[in-house]
Structure 1
């Protein structure tokens, strides 16, 4: 009976690999401007990708208002350029917000953060 199970397990593993590859193509189309996979409506996929980008931008603007303010009226265009420059979003909104701020800083759109002063009690220990 184990001889019959081996081909079925191989078929299942192959099907899982194909599914994972197909899901990867859909995700790339949604978040990294990848090609639209066969069988998907390109207009609907572009609309969903734009919606996901707007959601990310909105959350990033709430988490890092300094970055949103630095981008000003160009926020949508700047965030879209930032998103296109990445293969996939970072794992989590906070990381996305910090990466966007760093991206703006590299382009001279956001000043360096102020240096943190040592706590007052550290000065007493010197």
Structure 2
């Protein structure tokens, strides 16, 4: 197998896991969905660790809102977790789930 073929297969697998893309040849679709859900929950835990103030402000709404966010905006394979956390915060603000931040937070979000 060439490097190009391997790279293509890896990209297809990442697409399936991160963006609900079609299962690559040789992979079981239902098992990939399970793994994709596990990966999303892991991203949620990492985000809650990185932005504890957001998780605290949302309380019980954190999990469902994060699931809603990831359904419309999956994490990209090249995206750092901090940038993804910032995108989630911006989505929460834009959709009225969190109040608009003070100027300092807005400036910090833009720097990332």
- TM-score, scaled to structure 2: 0.77
Structure 1 partner of 2:67: 80
RMSD: 2.0
Q: Are 2:75 and 2:84, in contact at CA under 8 Å, matched by a contact in 1?
A: no
Larger Rg: 1
* Residues 51-99 of structure 1, C-alpha deviations (whole Å, 9 max, x = no match): 1111110010121123223443232222122222235436222112111
- TM-score, scaled to structure 1: 0.69
CA offset at residue 31 of structure 1? 0.9
Instruction: Note the residue ranges of structure 1 that are not aligned, 5 or more in a row.
Output: 1-11, 117-126
Structure 2 partner of 1:100: 88
Q: Are 1:67 and 1:100, in contact at CA under 8 Å, matched by a contact in 2?
A: no
Q: Are 1:70 and 1:109, in contact at CA under 8 Å, matched by a contact in 2?
A: no
In structure 2, distance between residues paired with 1:87 and 1:100: 10
Q: Are 2:48 and 2:55, in contact at CA under 8 Å, matched by a contact in 1?
A: yes
Aligned length: 103
In structure 2, distance between residues paired with 1:25 and 1:88: 15
Structure 2 partner of 1:115: 103
Equivalent of 1:52, from 9, 17, 39?
Answer: 39
Instruction: Note the residue ranges of structure 2 that are not aligned, 5 or more in a row.
Output: 105-112
In structure 1, distance between residues paired with 2:16 and 2:44: 18
